[in-house]
Amino acid sequence: MSKITPAAIRLSRTPEVARALAVAKKRYPTLSDPEILKVGLAKLTTNNSDDEEKAEIRAMSAYSVGADYLSDPAEDLYTSEMGKKVHFS
């Protein structure tokens, strides 16, 4: 059985990276270094993108969790007219 390893970003711990992680650690003390880097990459992705890219990222995120169906009334399967009314006494 072969083991699949996830893709990884290799980052050398240069003095600049170490300083940036030290500053970020003050802001996010409970996060590990890899988690801090993920937060930083996420901020770069959302802050430096133009509006079209942001809309595409949000749409892909919504699609991945099914949120696009939740906000579409045409996809509503259940209505108040469906089923048998039940009253508990």
Q: Is residue 2 part of a domain?
A: no
Kindly state the tokens that stand for 64.
Answer: 């991945």
Q: How many structural domains compose the chain? A: 1
Residue 84 resides in a domain: no
Asked if 75 contacts 69 with a C-beta cutoff of 8 angstroms, the reply is yes
- Structural domain harbouring 22: 15-66
Classified as helix, coil or strand, 41 is: helix
pLDDT at 53: 74
Per residue of the chain (89 residues), give pLDDT as tens: 567 776 777 778 888 888 888 988 888 889 898 888 888 878 777 776 677 777 777 777 777 666 666 666 666 566 666 667 777 76
* Residue 3 domain flag: no
